[in-house]
Amino acid sequence: KAVADKPAEYDQAAAAIKGGKFDDAIKLLNGIIAAYRNLEWDVEASKLLPQALLGQGDAAGAVQAYDKLFLLAPGEKQNAALAWGMRRAMLQAKQYTGLIRQLDAVAAAGPRPEAARAQTMRGDIQLAQNNVELAALDYLRTAILFQDLNDPIVLGEACFKAAAALEQLRDPRAKDMYKKVATEYKASPYAAQAAGKI
């Protein structure tokens, strides 16, 4: 397999994404993809491209970039970070039908932590469509059906989002859910926010 040395533009593009210069990053990454076909760096640049497109607010473009990446390197479909990146892009692009199909497949065949994430994202789809009550139910399903996972990242997110939806519905149980995140799931990125809500 042919591999070229890392192009200088790759680090420049990564720095541009970090600095919020998404147009510059997109130009650099598209240049690498064209110039380094089948030399590995086309795949590496293709992994960064959706981040730049999302940063620019082009969620539909990010989904297309993920599709092209998975055609270019089918093995990358097994990369959980990329698969969830594509699902988040689909959510932002309002591609709910295709996203629900993917989430159903993950829930049916994936390991339990992945199924839990899929159930939470179903809630995100409901929330994006302003179905707050249905979103709350999906988040609560994750919190209850997957509590045996004892995973503060997955469960912290589900409980926090359930609490936020319940709060919107003026349901007094919201406080208890925030408390649960702050005390039981301290390793969750949502723990500090939850503590502020108690």
- Asked whether the CA dihedral 119, 121, 126, 130 is positive or negative, the reply is positive
Residue 130 identity: N
Q: What is the pLDDT, as a whole number, of residue 38?
A: 87
The single residue listed with the structure tokens 């990329």 is 82
Model confidence pLDDT, tens digit, residues 180-192: 999 999 999 999 9
Model confidence pLDDT, tens digit, residues 39-92: 899 999 999 999 999 999 999 999 999 999 999 999 999 999 999 999 999 999
Model confidence pLDDT, tens digit, residues 103-130: 999 999 879 999 999 999 999 999 999 9
Q: Is the pLDDT of residue 4 over 90?
A: no
Model confidence pLDDT, tens digit, residues 152-182: 999 999 999 999 999 999 999 999 999 999 9
Q: What is the pLDDT, as a whole number, of residue 2?
A: 61
* Other residues' Cβ atoms within 10 Å of the Cβ of residue 32: 25
- On whether the pTM is more than 0.95, the answer is no
Q: What is the pLDDT, as a whole number, of residue 1?
A: 57
9 close to 40: Cβ distance less than 8 angstroms: no
Give the whole-angstrom CA distance, residue 149 versus residue 169. Answer: 28
CA nearest neighbour of 136 among 173, 109, 107:
173
Using only C-alpha atoms, the chain has a radius of gyration, in whole angstroms, of 19
Between the CA of residue 49 and those of 8, 9, 89, 118, 129, what are the distances in Å? 16, 13, 12, 24, 27
